[in-house]
Amino acid sequence: MTAEPVIDTQHGPTAPEVPPVPPTVRASLSPSRAADFKTCPLLYRFRSIDRLPERPTVEQVRGTLVHAVLERLFDLPAAARTPESAGDLVAPQWDRLVTEQPELSTLFAEGDTAGLEGFLRSAAALLEGYFTVEDPRRLEPAEREALISAVVDDELLIRGYLDRLDVAPDGALRVVDYKTGGAPREAFEARALFQLKFYALVLWRTRGVVPRVLRLLYLKDAEVCDYSPDADELLRFERTVVALWRAIEQATARQDFRPRPSRLCDWCSHQALCPSFGGTPPPFPVAGPADPLTDARSRPAAPGADE
């Protein structure tokens, strides 16, 4: 995609309509939860079945804040989308997030003004990284932080929040995902691409168009990673997602979710309960049939929270 995609918001492609869920649908899955199972079945269990709380890390909260600023940045007229404007949005967006999620204020001890100021400065620094890889004055995203969904295999609803969707005048789609984490990229890139392909599959199934570009924007390193899928690949990916879901169902029926240790364990909140680290998981919770629309297994992660 050579030219920056621009959408005429009056006449261009419109937001995808969320189709009614067919009565055949009996389960749902989000890219974050699917990626959990792929990464480590026990991690999936802890998050989606036991629903164990996780205290967000500073990096995750910074990711949420930076995503919020980038989302609001595009509310401004194109010419006003400058690094200064983005910097000016950091504190108000932080205040908004803390009002909506008061638990975030516990990230810093009371009176730790220096800690909070350093945190806000680090978010502003990531935004500077953003401006070195993109000029938002040349973009009019078609979607921002949009919840998209599709039904695959007649019975599985897949859905998730994409950070941004750009639509070129010729209808070409570009899915953009902002990455703000400081963890080594190689440890997370496969997971990030898996999630982007998930969005590509949803868009292909709902719009009939294979996205031309799946773009990861690494703000810390100020780098861009582009990937172009094709229909055959998405077809294979769809089979993978369905197979993954069947494996999850089987593991649930057997109450058998095994740990799969990897470098990602360093970022896992549940080491104390993990047999690979000498822990014991809690008793398997007893649950009735889940509603696909409210099932925790498909609860999409908020933008930026899955860094």
Residues at the site binding ligand SF4, with contacts judged by CB under 6 A: 40, 42-43, 259-261, 264-265, 268, 270-271, 274, 276-277
Give the Cα separation of 265 and 268 in Å (integer). 5
Given the complex with ligand SF4, which of 9 and 262 has the nearer CB atom?
262
Could you tell me which residues come within 8 angstroms of residue 178 by beta carbon, excluding any fewer than 6 positions away? 63, 66, 67, 70, 130, 163, 164, 217, 219, 304
Could you tell me which residues come within 8 angstroms of residue 114 by beta carbon, excluding any fewer than 6 positions away? none
Given the complex with ligand SF4, which of 26 and 260 has the nearer CB atom?
260
Residue 215, phi then psi, degrees to nearest 5: -120, 125
The least CB distance from residue 36 to ligand SF4, in Å, is 9
Given the complex with ligand SF4, which of 182 and 261 has the nearer CB atom?
261
Given the complex with ligand SF4, which of 40 and 173 has the nearer CB atom?
40
Q: Are 224 and 217 in contact (CB under 8 A)?
A: yes
Listed residue (266, 278, 186) closest to 223, CA to CA = 186
Q: Could you tell me where the DSSP H helices lie in 101-230?
A: 113-133, 185-207
Could you tell me which residues come within 8 angstroms of residue 221 by beta carbon, excluding any fewer than 6 positions away? 129, 185
The least CB distance from residue 280 to ligand SF4, in Å, is 12
Interior/surface letters 271-303, b for 16+ CB within 10 angstroms, e for the rest: eebbeeeeeebeeeeeeeebebeebebbbbbbb
Given the complex with ligand SF4, which of 101 and 262 has the nearer CB atom?
262
